[in-house]
A = this chain, B = another copy of it.
Amino acid sequence: METDQLILNTKWQGDFVFSAVGQGGHSLTMDAHQGVGKEQGLLPMQALLGSLAGCVGMDVIMILRSKTEEIRSLEIITEGIKRRNPPKEFLSFVVTFVVEGEIAAEQVLHAIEVSGEKYCPVAHSLKADVRYRLVLNGEEASAT
């Protein structure tokens, strides 16, 4: 099987703060939850939810790219259910696309489905299943 390698450097900044630097020098700063950390960055588990949202979001924009002018806004709500006791891993995910614009629900649902089933490398790297929802112009559109 053909493979590629991706490398990232993350530096400890003191206390519980860690900063990772990615392409273009952009950084991701993380901290422990309140009470342990001082809210100087995202929780690592929030960063994981964000990576999932960015991944499926980019796929959907790519698949719909001839129609993105018709999308006024796109927001992705990523919910993860996690175990309360260690290891507190994610047990399931729900990714809700909240879209405003003059676009057919079927087209957006198709793009989400193709991303989830064939493309999104983050979703495919996770143990737990990901369920997708679409709320288009304030109305729930059910995914197949």
Residues of B within 8 A of A122 (CB): 44-45, 48, 89
Main secondary structure of the interface of A (DSSP, over half): mixed
Residues of B within 8 A of A44 (CB): 51-52, 54-55, 58, 121-122
Contact, CB under 8 Å: A87 / B46: no
- Chain A contacts with B in 16-75, Cβ cutoff 8 A: 16, 18, 20, 22-24, 26-34, 36-37, 39-55, 57-58, 61-62, 71, 73-75
Contact, CB under 8 Å: B86 / A118: yes
A57-B125 contact, Cβ under 8 Å, with A5-B79, A46-B22: no
Q: Measuring CB to CB, which residues of chain A are less than 8 angstroms from any residue of chain B?
A: 1-12, 15-16, 18, 20, 22-24, 26-34, 36-37, 39-55, 57-58, 61-62, 71, 73-91, 118-128
